[in-house]
Amino acid sequence: MKHLPQLAAIAAAVLFTVAVAGFGAALEGYLQSTHPVGLLGARGLPHALAFNALGFVLPGGLAAFVAWRLRAAIGDGGPWIARIGAWLALLSALAFAAQGLLPLDPGDLESDTSRAHATAWTLWWVAFVPAAAMLAAGLRQGGGSQVLVPASVIAAIVVAVLAMLPLELLAPAVTQRMVFAAWLMWWGVAAWWVGTAAVVAAGSR
pLDDT higher than 60, residue 144 = no
pLDDT classification of 204: cutoffs 50, 70, 90 = very low
Which has the closest alpha carbon to 152: 201, 111, 188, 100? Answer: 188
Cβ neighbours of residue 143 closer than 8 Å, sequence gap 6 or more: none
Q: Which of 97, 100, 73 is nearest to 86 (CA)?
A: 73
For residue 76, pLDDT over 90 is answered with: yes
Structure confidence at residue 18 (pLDDT): 98
Report the pLDDT value the prediction gives residue 99, as an integer from 0 to 100.
97
Using the predicted structure, report yes or no on whether residue 48 has a pLDDT greater than 60. Answer: yes
**Residue 56: half-sphere exposure toward Cβ, Cα within 13 Å:** 27
Is the pTM above the cut of 0.85? Answer: yes
Separation of alpha carbons 199 and 203, rounded Å: 6
User: Is the CB of residue 86 less than 8 Å from the CB of residue 135?
Assistant: yes
d(CA 42, CA 202): 46
Greatest pairwise CA separation for the chain in angstroms = 59
- Alpha-carbon dihedral angle through residues 43, 46, 49, 51, given to the nearest 10 degrees: -110
Q: Is the pLDDT of residue 201 over 50?
A: no
What average pLDDT score do residues 104-121 get? 86
**Helix pair angle (4-26, 58-74), 10° resolution:** 160
**Cα dist from 15 to 21, 59, 87, whole Å:** 10, 7, 24
Asked whether residue 50 carries a pLDDT value surpassing 70, the answer given is: yes
